[in-house]
Chains A and B, each alone.
Chain A
Amino acid sequence: MHELSVTQRIVDSVLEEMDERGLERIGAVHLKLGRMTTFVPDCVKFYYEVLTADTPLAGSELVIEEINVTGRCNNCGAELEFDEPFFVCPECGSVDIEILSGREILIDALEVPDEREVGIGDKGR
């Protein structure tokens, strides 16, 4: 439910991008998804398949790369990586932590089948 609307935005965004670039088919969409978002990769993938069914994206793969949560301590400058949402600097104990990554919902790249592959695929139909 929760992932449905964000996945719709991802799909819309990719369709727009295809339109702008004059792409008719896409093999895969690469998405960077921060671990500090509230979206579950498997749910996003599930909805992606449902939402793209009747679009030029039908059959394309959604490849999700999860991005770790990293930050910087504003007190001692330590670069930190977090496995749990406890934002306390292990070096100096400060709670003044700036999050640097982990909040991304980024369409990183589109994979376009090269012409030869498209040709083979077309023959197969």
Chain B
Amino acid sequence: MEIKVVKKALAAGEAVAGEIREKLAENGVYMVNFMGSPGSGKTAVVERLLESGLGGLRTAVVEGDIATTADAERLARFDIPIVQVNTEPFGGDCHMPPNLLASGLEDFDLSALDLVVVENVGNLVCPAEFDIGENLKVVVISVAEGEDKPLKYPLMFRESGLCVVTKTDLVGALDFELGRLRENISRVNGTISIIETSARTGTGIDELEGFLISRTGETIT
């Protein structure tokens, strides 16, 4: 005998993500989920954004890593609320699960915030799979990773609304063509926005800052 069930396997996590989304909306908070490979420059981009001031948006950061509080310590110089979420010190979840994020967000007074920046666990595969209640998924890719990555990791690029290309100051030192990367990104996702940046030189950070300010403004007002 066959019993029809039709149940989403990730329903429990999706429900938590839904609760997060609701809570953020109630408090008029926009949430951005930065994803990308380890070493792609996610933390450096977040650092530059915080330095830029983000137009006065009251910002908090959730740092996700498998282990260490290194990233939270790196951002401690900014006078903003920061929480570090570790998935499992000996090699646990490869992405930020919604339930861990929910407990991390409890540390914040959401009514006193406009923007929450989540830096997901470094990984170009798994974080794309899980809804965490964010308004915007951002994929960060450095030029050192190669132009073919959107084709090799399509889900990440398909699910994201913005691609931040990092380390563009290295283009001259690498056999890398930005045009080919853009072409590969648009084959997977023709509607994604792309911003080229360098955390070292500051190129593109203004554009990224402006993008996030305008998206936040559109959503929370």
Contact assessment for B129 and A13 in the assembled complex, using a CB-CB cutoff below 8 Å: no
A38 within 8 A of B: yes
Contact assessment for A96 and B158 in the assembled complex, using a CB-CB cutoff below 8 Å: no
B189 within 8 A of A: yes
A6 within 8 A of B: yes
B125 within 8 A of A: yes
In the complex, per-residue mask of A1-31: 1 if CB is within 8 Å of any chain B CB, else 0: 1100110011011000100010100000011
Contact assessment for A105 and B9 in the assembled complex, using a CB-CB cutoff below 8 Å: yes
The residue in chain B whose Cβ has the minimal distance to the Cβ of A23 is B3
B76 within 8 A of A: no
Complex interface: chain A residues within 8 A of B81 (CB)? none
Contact assessment for A105 and B7 in the assembled complex, using a CB-CB cutoff below 8 Å: no
Contact assessment for A37 and B129 in the assembled complex, using a CB-CB cutoff below 8 Å: yes
CB-CB under 8 A for A2 and B125, given A85-B154, A87-B190: yes
The tally of residues in A whose CB lies under 8 Å from a CB in B reads 36
The residue in chain A whose Cβ has the minimal distance to the Cβ of B184 is A86
CB-CB under 8 A for A97 and B10, given A37-B155, A85-B158: no
B151 within 8 A of A: yes
CB-CB under 8 A for A38 and B3, given A85-B154, A88-B190, A105-B10: no
Interface of A is mostly: mixed
B8 within 8 A of A: yes
Interface centre among B1, B9, B94, B188 (most CB of A within 10 A): B9
Interface residues of B in 1-40 (CB under 8 A from A): 1-13
Please give 14 more A-B residue pairs, beta carbons under 8 A apart, in addition to A31-B9, A87-B189, A107-B7: A6-B9, A9-B10, A13-B7, A13-B11, A13-B12, A17-B5, A38-B126, A88-B187, A94-B190, A95-B189, A99-B158, A111-B2, A111-B3, A114-B1
Complex interface: chain A residues within 8 A of B1 (CB)? 111-114
A80 within 8 A of B: no
CB-CB under 8 A for A109 and B129, given A88-B187, A88-B190, A96-B191: no
Contact assessment for A5 and B7 in the assembled complex, using a CB-CB cutoff below 8 Å: no
A106 within 8 A of B: yes
